[in-house]
C-alpha cells in the first residue's frame, strides 16, 4: 500500500444521516461511496437531499456505472452490501 486514498466508503443506519450532513458539504478529490440502510422497495430521498447541500455531484448509480473522483454515490435501497446489484 502506498498511503494514497482511492475512495471514501461510508456505511450508516438511518441515524447516520446527521453525521453525513456535517461531512458531505466538503469537497473531496476521491469518490465517496455511501450505503445507508433503506428498506428495499422504499424510495430513497437521500441523493436529492444531499445534492442540494453538497459541494460534489450526488447520484444514485446504476449497475456498472463508472465510479469517478469528486462524486458522491448513494447505494440504492436494498442494494446488497457485498456490491452485487439487484438492478439490471
Beta bridge partners of 53: none
Q: Report residue 46's pLDDT band, with 50, 70 and 90 as the boundaries.
A: confident
Half-sphere exposure of 86 (CA within 13 A, CB side): 10
- Residue 52, C-alpha cell as written in the block: 442540494
The mean pLDDT value for 20-43 works out to 82
Q: What is the Cβ-side half-sphere exposure of residue 45, based on CA atoms within 13 angstroms?
A: 3
Per-residue confidence (pLDDT) for residue 19, from 0 to 100: 87
Answer yes or no: is pLDDT of 75 > 90: no
Place of cell 486514498: 5
Structure-model confidence comparison of residues 78 and 15, the more confident one: 15
**pLDDT confidence of residue 32:** 92
Amino acid at each position: 500500500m502506498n498511503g494514497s486514498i482511492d475512495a471514501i466508503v461510508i456505511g450508516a443506519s438511518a441515524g447516520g444521516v446527521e453525521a453525513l450532513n456535517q461531512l458531505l458539504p466538503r469537497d473531496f478529490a476521491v469518490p465517496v461511496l455511501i450505503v445507508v440502510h433503506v428498506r428495499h422497495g422504499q424510495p430513497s430521498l437521500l441523493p436529492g437531499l444531499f445534492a442540494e447541500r453538497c459541494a460534489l455531484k450526488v447520484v444514485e448509480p446504476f449497475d456498472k456505472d463508472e465510479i469517478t473522483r469528486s462524486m458522491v454515490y448513494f447505494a440504492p435501497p436494498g442494494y446488497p452490501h457485498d456490491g452485487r446489484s439487484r438492478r439490471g
